[in-house]
Amino acid sequence: MLNVAKQCLAAGAVALAVGLPFAGAQSQEFINVLTGGTSGVYYPLGVALADIYGKGIEGARAQVQATKASVENLNLLQQGKGEIAFSLGDSVKLAAEGNTEVGFPGKLDKLRGVAAIYPNYIQIVASAESGIKSLADLKGKSLSVGAPASGTELNARAIFEAAGMSYDDLGKVEYLPFAESVELIKNRQLDATLQSAGLGVASIRDLSTSLAITVVAVPSETVEKIGSPYVSAVIPAGTYEGQTEDVQTAAVGNFLVTHDGVSEDTVYMMTKLLFENLDQLTAAHAAAKAIDPAKALDGMPIPLHPGAEKYYREAGILK
């Protein structure tokens, strides 16, 4: 009997050494939430989602990964290096098409849709002392357009092209995340920043409380030249300190995206828990107020994941 016990202990030690599971051991599921820079909107929402998934999906261990946002997130999903990611709608569309110019190696055919969430507003903010009051005034000035090949930078290119301008018209172009762009403006080393984010993004709130700013309009006729998935929108007066008037701009929808290697059950639960915990997401960032299950399929540029489809049929959103 003693020998049998010793053999069992030895077998257990071997199993531990080589990573083999014991009989009855439960496999743990990892959910990596791909977000963006820590000063943007994706990151706090991603932290909230990871908390929701870690508590609500049995056996799941969820974590958040800060990234360069849309383009990087979609490439990571295609490689199976994440389970759910935030991305701008135009980036998702270009990824499905395999647009190599913006940083996709080819058609990202493994991407699957989870939900349309909230719109990103293109927010161009300059220091008041720079004298920038319009898009044309950016000529000869310094502007940060977001991290290279990020969703924000793709938005910047689209805006400039529609306005009949290019980066060559600028005095200097910086490719920096939101927080770093703001620090340079505070230090008088940069005139303006273009940030694609939810209203009330922390980086611009910080800037507006530190010095006088001007929120630069993107006219509706410029937005119309770009076309879908861009729509004309308004940054309401009072969104930022010292902003006394509504400002016209462009908006692009954000999406939660997964890939075809994530199980139907997991994506079903991720979708269900998303909509059942909107209060927690809104507490993380006010942009989540715009998340509406009735609009979750609006403008979806890629096929739905079967797990998400199951939820929408169950909820009566898909017939």
205, pLDDT greater than 50: yes
Tell me the three state secondary structure of residue 115: strand
C-alpha 257/C-alpha 96 separation (Å) is 12
Residue given tokens 């984010």 in the structure block: 197
Task: For the domain covering 29-118+253-314, report its CATH number.
Answer: 3.40.190.10
pLDDT-derived band at 27 (thresholds 50, 70, 90) equals low
pLDDT-derived band at 183 (thresholds 50, 70, 90) equals very high
Peptide bond between residue 148 and the one before it cis (omega within 30 degrees of 0):
no
Instruction: Report the largest interatomic distance among the alpha carbons of the chain, rounded to a whole angstrom.
Output: 88
The residue-averaged pLDDT of 305-312 equals 98
Tell me the three state secondary structure of residue 277: coil
**Pairing mode, strands 111-127 and 84-88:** unpaired
Predicted confidence at residue 139, as pLDDT, reads: 98
**CA R_g for the chain:** 22
Predicted confidence at residue 58, as pLDDT, reads: 94
Domain ranges within the chain, ordered by starting residue: 29-118+253-314, 120-252
CATH superfamily of 120-252: Periplasmic binding protein-like II (3.40.190.10)
Q: Could you tell me which residues come within 8 angstroms of residue 124 by beta carbon, excluding any fewer than 6 positions away?
A: 135, 138, 159, 192, 193, 194, 195, 215, 216, 218, 249
pLDDT-derived band at 17 (thresholds 50, 70, 90) equals very low
pLDDT-derived band at 149 (thresholds 50, 70, 90) equals confident
Please tell me if the domain spanning 29-118+253-314 has the same topology as the one spanning 120-252.
yes
264-276 vs 306-314: helix axis angle to the nearest 10?
Answer: 50
Predicted confidence at residue 6, as pLDDT, reads: 42
Q: What's the pLDDT tens digit per position in 87-96?
A: 999 999 999 9
3-state helix, strand, coil in the chain (%, to 5): 40, 20, 35
Predicted confidence at residue 229, as pLDDT, reads: 84
**Percent of the chain scoring above 90 in pLDDT:** 83
C-alpha 23/C-alpha 17 separation (Å) is 15
151-162 vs 89-97: helix axis angle to the nearest 10?
Answer: 90
Is residue 151 within 8 A of residue 91, CB to CB? The reply is yes
